[in-house]
Each structure stands twice: as structure tokens, then as C-alpha cells.
């Protein structure tokens, strides 16, 4: 991996564009509040979607934040440089996202009552989404061919390391009823149902009307036209939507358009070896 494009923190590569030693130490020493809510994701699993969903769930469907504040300041990444800049503007309950592995979460997180929604996505679609993301995000390494990128991904030489390590760490987190697990696929299949589950978890009693309104505002089509959420505010030299839009397809199962049968066999074998053989079950069939 290109040494200038990534900073290694506890052995895990993170893009230098958004992270530096100060931001990572700031995150580690961050003072987590009991009312904080974190959406935890491996990259390309629905992070930006959660940046749309969380404010609406927490404020009862008021669309002001999603219409006026860019997603990275509205629900900042715990580990990114922006957090220190916007932290004082966050209103309680604060919502944040993070790609941190479980073992890097701040000390104060563990002693707090802060809640976590962990969104997992089928790794085959994560790989495809990441492949296109690496083409448009100029601050990441060029992915090469899809075949080459599959190897890079399986070796964990990508932002935030191996998918399997991230998922295993969070799946074994001992957080009791402070953590809720959901999949990107469940959200795609029935967003209102997913929102109801999240609202219950966050102790928000929302009417069906509000749930439907939130679902509408968080639809792929609506987010694609929301300049506060579609990354159109980012200069082209960092993210080039002509290569691939950030909000690219928003579906489950796009991997079928990209995997050969040989690639599927290789990918499945590698993921299985690191998950199922270690007793971790997955919510999707890998075949
Ligand atoms: P695709 O590239 O498959 O389209 P992240 O925010 O973690 O980087 O994840 C990005 C992925 O989530 C992209 O997947 C993006 O399109 C998808 N996504 C974002 N908002 C979505 C929405 N409202 N509905 C469905 N998918 C969404």
C-alpha cells in the first residue's frame, strides 16, 4: 500500500486524508457520554446511510440536520480529523459513526452506557462496492483489476484491514444490550422494519407515520439527490463521481454481476476459513 496514502494505527491502515496521529489519539481519549450512539461499520457497509438514519431517529423525524449539515459533520467519524472540529456543535444525544475495530474503541466507551448499532454487509458486496470506491476516491490506492483487488481485500491490505477481523471483533464484543446487530441486506429488504428495530433499541417511541417519513428520506434515491449526503460537496480531485458515484447502486447482490465462478470459490473459501471454522456464523450464505 502506498505509504503516503495511509497511516497505520495499531497495524491497521487508515486513509491519511481523513486521519492523522492527533485524530486517532483524540478518538482513543474521547470522552464518551452515556447518551452517545455509535453506528459501527466496516467501510462500504452502510455508514453514510446510518449518518442519514440516526439523526432522524433520534430527533423524531426532523429533517433539518440532514438538509443543512454535511454527513461528515452531522454524524462524524470518531477517528477522523473532523470530530475535534465539530464536537462542540453536536447536540445530545450525539450520534457518531466509526470504522474502528472493537479493541480500539476509547476507554471511556467501555465504562459508558453508550449504544452501538453494528451494520454488517455481505462481504462479496462490500468487495464490489469497495472496488468502485477505490476507483473514485483519489486518496486511496488504485485497486488494479477486480481480480487483483480481491486478493488485496482478502489479505486485508485495504482501509481498516481485514473484513473478517473487523466482523469477528465486533461480533464477540461483550456489550450485552448496548449493542444491536443488523445487516445492510435487512435494511435494503425492508427499511421501515429496520428503522422500527433501531428505534426500539434506542428507546424512541415513533409513530408509524414518522417511521414511514424517515424511510422515505433515507431511501437511496432521496439520498442521491441530497447534496449534504451524496459527497457532491467534495472536490473532484478527492472524489471523482465520473469514475463512480459514491451512492453507486445501493442494492444487495451486485456481486453476481462481478464474480466469476473461480473468484466465488476462492473468496468463499478464504472467508469461511477465517469465520465459520472459528465458530462465527454469518447471516448470509456465502455460495
Ligand atoms: P454500493 O457501492 O454497493 O452502491 P459506506 O457508506 O459504508 O461507505 O457504504 C457505501 C455503500 O452503501 C454504497 O454501496 C452505497 O450506495 C450504499 N448506500 C448508501 N446509502 C444507501 C441507501 N439509502 N440505500 C441503499 N444503499 C445505500
Q: Give 52-111 pLDDT, tens digit per residue.
A: 999 999 999 999 999 999 999 999 999 999 999 999 999 999 999 999 999 999 999 999
Percentage, residues of the chain above pLDDT 90: 96
> What separation in Å is there between the alpha carbon of 82 and the centre of ligand 1?
21
Q: Residue 249 CA: which ligand 1 atom is closest?
A: 4
Regarding the beta carbon of 222 and ligand 1, being less than 6 Å apart is answered: no
Report the pLDDT value the prediction gives residue 287, as an integer from 0 to 100.
82
Q: Look at residue 276 in the predicted model and tell me its pLDDT.
A: 83
* Confidence (pLDDT) at 286: 84
Please tell me the residue having the least CA distance from ligand 1 atom 2.
129
Ligand 1 in reach of 106 Cβ (< 6 A): no
99 assigned to active site: yes
Name the average pLDDT for the chain: 97
Contacts of 71 (CB under 8 A, 6+ apart): 48, 51, 52, 228, 229
Distance 107 CA to ligand 1 centre (A): 30
Ligand 1 in contact with 229 (CB < 6 A)?
Answer: no
User: What is the grid cell recorded at 259?
Assistant: 464474480
- Return the ligand 1 atom nearest residue 247 CA: 16
What is the bridge-based pairing of β-strands 115-120 and 95-98?
Answer: unpaired
Distance from C-alpha of 159 to C-alpha of 104, rounded to nearest angstrom:
15
- The confidence band for 245, taking pLDDT boundaries of 50, 70 and 90, is very high
**Which CATH homologous superfamily contains domain 6-275?**
P-loop containing nucleotide triphosphate hydrolases (3.40.50.300)
| Helix or strand run (H / E) with residue 271 | helix 261-274
Return the closest-CA partner of residue 125 out of 187, 73, 168: 187
Instruction: Please give the average per-residue pLDDT across 209-225, as a whole number.
Output: 98
Give the confidence band of 277 by pLDDT, cuts at 50, 70, 90. confident
pTM of the model: 0.98
122: alpha, beta or left? (left if phi > 0; alpha if psi -120 to 50)? beta
At 136 the pLDDT is 97
Cell numbers describing residue 46:
452502510
Asked whether residue 214 carries a pLDDT value surpassing 90, the answer given is yes
Amino acid at each position: 500500500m502506498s505509504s503516503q496514502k495511509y497511516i497505520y494505527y495499531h497495524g491497521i491502515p487508515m486513509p491519511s486524508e481523513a486521519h492523522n496521529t492527533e485524530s486517532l489519539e483524540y478518538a482513543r481519549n474521547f470522552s464518551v457520554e452515556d447518551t452517545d450512539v455509535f453506528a459501527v461499520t466496516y467501510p462500504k457497509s452502510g455508514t453514510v446511510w446510518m449518518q442519514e438514519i440516526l439523526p432522524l431517529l433520534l430527533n423524531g423525524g426532523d429533517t433539518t440536520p440532514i438538509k443543512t449539515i454535511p454527513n461528515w459533520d452531522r454524524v462524524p467519524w470518531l477517528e477522523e480529523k473532523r470530530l475535534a472540529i465539530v464536537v462542540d456543535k453536536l447536540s445530545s444525544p450525539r450520534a457518531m459513526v466509526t470504522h474502528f475495530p472493537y479493541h480500539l474503541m476509547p476507554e471511556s466507551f467501555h465504562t459508558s452506557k453508550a449504544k452501538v448499532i453494528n451494520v454488517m454487509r455481505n462481504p462479496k458486496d462490500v468487495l464490489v462496492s469497495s472496488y468502485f470506491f477505490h476507483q473514485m476516491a483519489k486518496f486511496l490506492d488504485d485497486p488494479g483489476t477486480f481480480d487483483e483487488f480481491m486478493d488485496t481485500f482478502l489479505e486485508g491490505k485495504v482501509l481498516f484491514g481485514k473484513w473478517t477481523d473487523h466482523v469477528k471483533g465486533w461480533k464477540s464484543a461483550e456489550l450485552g444490550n448496548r449493542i444491536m446487530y443488523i445487516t445492510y441486506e435487512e435494511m435494503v429488504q425492508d427499511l421501515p422494519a429496520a428503522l422500527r428495530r433501531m428505534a426500539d433499541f434506542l428507546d424512541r417511541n415513533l409513530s408509524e407515520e414518522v417511521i414511514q417519513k424517515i424511510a422515505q428520506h433515507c431511501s437511496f434515491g432521496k439520498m442521491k439527490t441530497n447534496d449534504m449526503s451524496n459527497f457532491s460537496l467534495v472536490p473532484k480531485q478527492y472524489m471523482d463521481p465520473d469514475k463512480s458515484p459514491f451512492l453507486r447502486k445501493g442494492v444487495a447482490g451486485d456481486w453476481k454481476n462481478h464474480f466469476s465462478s473461480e473468484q466465488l470459490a476462492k473468496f468463499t473459501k478464504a472467508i469461511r476459513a477465517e469465520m465459520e471454522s472459528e465458530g462465527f456464523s454469518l447471516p448470509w450464505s456465502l455460495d
